[in-house]
Amino acid sequence: MINLTAVYVLWLRETKRFLRSKSRVVGSLAMPLMFLLFLGLGFRGMAVPGVSGGTGYLDFLLPGILGMSVIFTSMIAGISVLWDREFGFLKEIMVAPVDRTSIILGRIAGGCTTAIIQAASIMVIAAFTGFHLGGVLSIIYESAFIIAIAVAFIGLGLIFASQMSDIQGFNLIINLVIFPLFFLSGALFPISNLPGWLRVFSYLDPLTYGIDGLRGVMTNSSMMAAGADMLVLIAFAAVIVVTGAYLFEKSNVV
Amino acid sequence: MRAINVSGLTKRFGRVTAVNRISFYVEEGEVFGLLGPNGAGKTTTINMLATLINPTSGHAEVAGAVIGRDNYKVRKRIGIVFQDPTLDNKLTGRENLHLHAMLYGLKRGIIKERIRKVLKLIELEGKADMLVGNYSGGMKRRLEIARGLMHKPRVLFLDEPTLGLDAQTRRRIWEYIKSLKQEGMLSVILTTHYMEEADYLADRVAIIDNGKIVAIDTPANLKKSLGGDIIQLYIRGSEKSYRGLIHKINDRIKVKKTDLRLARTQTGEDELLITVEGGNDKVPLIISMAEREGVRVVSLDIHTPSLEDVFLHFTGRNIREDGADGYERNREFIKRMRR
Ligand SMILES: Nc1ncnc2c1ncn2[C@@H]1O[C@H](COP(=O)(O)OP(=O)(O)OP(=O)(O)O)[C@@H](O)[C@H]1O
Ligand SMILES: [Mg+2]
């Protein structure tokens, strides 16, 4: 049975912690915005190879950058279990009469909220530079993709957190896991430009479908139909979260 | 009904047996002390009873529920203050309490009132809306104790509740714990390094060493069980002279072997402890024997056994000997680094 009060209060905690940590709020926006600014301006006006005409590079890039901000935040939301373990707070949660599923749902809800806040901030800033935001419906579709990406990567964070004993390996994970997944996803260039053997890995990367889906919704230029992207993404997310939850349950608290 | 019933509880970590077939019980309304040197297995015992780790073998009932089988019920009925801090530093004191109350399913209507009450108890009303990261060590500890009590547990676990606190704060925390006891049916299980703490607070004490319980009784009975007085001699001399003296004492005064202890110290002054009936009368004899053996007595002290002596008797170690103080300082240092 899911304990909604516990989910709510754990969500509240994550959200408060995020909003209170100014460096996290600023830091999480700075990198995506720099990518957007420099790559967007640097490749301005260039035709994107492999993309049908009409879509400028900035339009092509924005969904990729959204995906980037989402995977970084949500991966950190998942891995932050490690910080809770390091600072002892995990014990307070784990000794409470709350089932593990609710604890994980609370974390997922918190991670999704921060991901949405960030994506919305990026969109608003992009709108000032002339990006067309689209109607309510497309915003709902975009949110759905952002949440699905967030869930998958929170789950991935949980998987890593339950395999690591301390926060030492954190940078390694960022460099050896997040960046490759980001580059493979086609966030910065169409994956059709990649050599075939490398493209295989792109198809194994859940972010590929998230970004393709976002692109379909935001610019109408995608490889697959958005609905198909969503289905694949949900399948990935489900498998990853269930694995993460299982490993979290099995991992040591003390 | 008993608050806690433990039989044959064992925990192995790989080849290390942290807790080795211990059995004890805690009555309702009782304060039970778990005394032991570093690494004795105190925290491991508490973690098992609080359902955070599974025992390797053995059986335990806590507040009427069996650990491993009814963990949910156990969790609902216990409160716990862990050895290391478990507060969220990025939340305020009040928010930490509120989060706890919600996790334990307290009704919205009573949460506010309950928070107000515990804040008053620990005298932190004025600092309730400050981030916990800015609290002092003593304030954090008090907040954790208050938090452990918020949901009115039947059993409260306190793992070294006053570790690293100054004497004044420690006193105050003792008073809270005492006052809890007067309120009624709450049972408390407390681990500590501080003998005075166990002596002052605990109705009964278990001394645990190397994962085993080596003695269990009221502090008064434990002290009585040693019998007589403790003569503590600070001496200088050669190894040979010491051996001669010990031989003489064993011969003439007939103390049991275990009640005669020689402890080496860094300063060159060694410590000889003799437990004996009618200590005052024996002193002149011991001093003259020491002189004859060529042992110089620097100073001496006679006292009736304290819990410290009991501890020494059963574990063969002074609780401070393996550096309890240095250890604490180290722990404090680590805590500060984390902030
Ligand atoms: N997770 C673990 N993995 C391996 N060994 C462990 C683990 N936890 C505890 N131990 C070992 O079990 C023994 C008992 O440790 P425990 O923490 O219970 O001692 P303690 O009595 O609480 O000591 P202290 O006074 O230092 O807190 C120690 O030898 C410790 O190294
Ligand atoms: Mg301990």
Q: Is pLDDT at B323 greater than 60 in this prediction?
A: no
Q: Please give the full DSSP string across B236-253, using - where no structure is assigned.
A: E--HHHHHHHHHHHHHHT
Nearest CA among B263, B184, B277, B191 for reference residue B226 = B277
Give strand pairing partners of A213: none
Residue B318 domain flag: no
Are A91 and B159 within 8 A, CB to CB?
no
Q: How far apart are CA A12 and CA A4, in angstroms?
A: 12
Judge if B160 and B284 occupy the same domain. no
State which ligand 1 atom lies nearest to the alpha carbon of B208: 21
Q: Which of B11, B42, B214, B322 to mutate to test the pocket of ligand 1 (most atoms within 8 A of CB)?
A: B42
Is A92's CB within 8 Å of B72's CB? no
Of the ranges B180-184, B231-235, B309-313, which one carries the lowest mean pLDDT score? Answer: B180-184
**CATH number for position B125:** 3.40.50.300
Amino acid at the residue A114: T
Domain segments of chain A as ranges: 4-250
Q: Which helix (H) or strand (E) holds B25?
A: strand B16-26
pLDDT of residue B258: 58
pLDDT of residue B225: 83
Q: How far apart are CA B183 and CA A172, in angstroms?
A: 53
State which ligand 1 atom lies nearest to the alpha carbon of B45: 18
Residue of A nearest to B85 (CA): A88
How large is the C-alpha radius of gyration of chain A? 18
Residue B339 domain flag: no
Q: Is pLDDT at B338 greater than 60 in this prediction?
A: no
Q: Give exposure, B137-153, as e/b (b: 16+ Cβ within 10 Å).
A: bbbbbbbbbbbbbbbeb
Residue B69 domain flag: yes
**Contact B39 CB / ligand 1 (< 6 Å):** yes
- Where does the pLDDT of residue B334 fall: very low under 50, low under 70, confident under 90, or very high at 90 and above? very low
Ligand positioned closest to the Cα atom of B45: 1
Which residue numbers in chain A have pLDDT < 50? none
Q: How far apart are CA A28 and CA A18, in angstroms?
A: 10
Q: Which two tokens stand for residue B33?
A: 């002390």
Q: Give exposure, A215-253, as e/b (b: 16+ Cβ within 10 Å).
A: bbbbbebbbbebeebbebbbebbeebbeebbebbeebee
Q: How far apart are CA B273 and CA B306, in angstroms?
A: 13
Q: Is pLDDT at B25 greater than 70 in this prediction?
A: yes
A47: DSSP letter: P
Total domains in chain B come to: 2
Residue B152: give the domain boundaries. 4-218
Chain A partners within 8 Å of B78 (Cβ): 95
Judge if B150 and B190 occupy the same domain. yes
Q: How far apart are CA A162 and CA B257, in angstroms?
A: 52
**Contact B41 CB / ligand 1 (< 6 Å):** yes
- Where does the pLDDT of residue B155 fall: very low under 50, low under 70, confident under 90, or very high at 90 and above? very high
Q: How far apart are CA B115 and CA B129, in angstroms?
A: 12
Q: Which two tokens stand for residue B113?
A: 């009132």
Query: What phi-psi label fits residue B38: left (phi over 0), alpha (psi between -120 and 50 degrees) or beta?
Result: beta
pLDDT of residue B335: 39
Q: Is pLDDT at B142 greater than 60 in this prediction?
A: yes
Q: Which helix (H) or strand (E) holds B175?
A: helix B167-183
Calculate the CA A234 to chain-centre distance.
13
Pseudo-torsion of CA A136, A141, A142, A148, nearest 10°? 150
Pseudo-torsion of CA A192, A198, A204, A207, nearest 10°? -60
> Based on the number of CB atoms within 10 Å of its own CB, is A85 exposed (0-12), middle (13-18) or buried (19 or more)?
buried
pLDDT tens for residues A122-148? Answer: 988 888 877 777 788 888 999 999 999
pLDDT tens for residues B269-311? Answer: 888 888 888 878 888 988 999 999 889 999 999 888 888 888 8
Is some CB atom of chain A closer than 8 A to the CB atom of B85?
A: yes
Nearest CA among B78, B47, B64 for reference residue B5 = B64
Smallest CA separation from ligand 1 atom 19, residue: B39
Q: How far apart are CA B153 and CA B301, in angstroms?
A: 45
ipTM of the complex: 0.88
**How far is the centre of ligand 1, averaged over its atoms, from the C-alpha of B168 (Å)?**
29
pLDDT of residue B331: 39
Sheet holding B155-159, edge to edge: B78-81, B155-159, B187-192, B31-35, B204-209, B212-217
- Where does the pLDDT of residue B178 fall: very low under 50, low under 70, confident under 90, or very high at 90 and above? confident
pLDDT of residue B321: 45
**How far is the centre of ligand 2, averaged over its atoms, from the C-alpha of B196 (Å)?**
18
Q: Which two tokens stand for residue B287?
A: 């001093």
Which residues numbered 26-45 in B keep a CB inside 8 Å of some CB on A? none
Calculate the CA B121 to chain-centre distance.
23
**CATH number for position B243:** 3.30.70.260
Smallest CA separation from ligand 1 atom 31, residue: B39
Judge if B233 and B115 occupy the same domain. no
pLDDT of residue B17: 96
pTM over 0.90: no
For chain A, the average pLDDT equals 89
Give the best residue of B51, B96, B102, B337 to mutate against chain A (max A CB count within 10 A). Answer: B102
**Contact B13 CB / ligand 1 (< 6 Å):** yes
Q: Is pLDDT at B189 greater than 90 in this prediction?
A: yes
For chain B, the average pLDDT equals 87
pLDDT of residue B276: 83
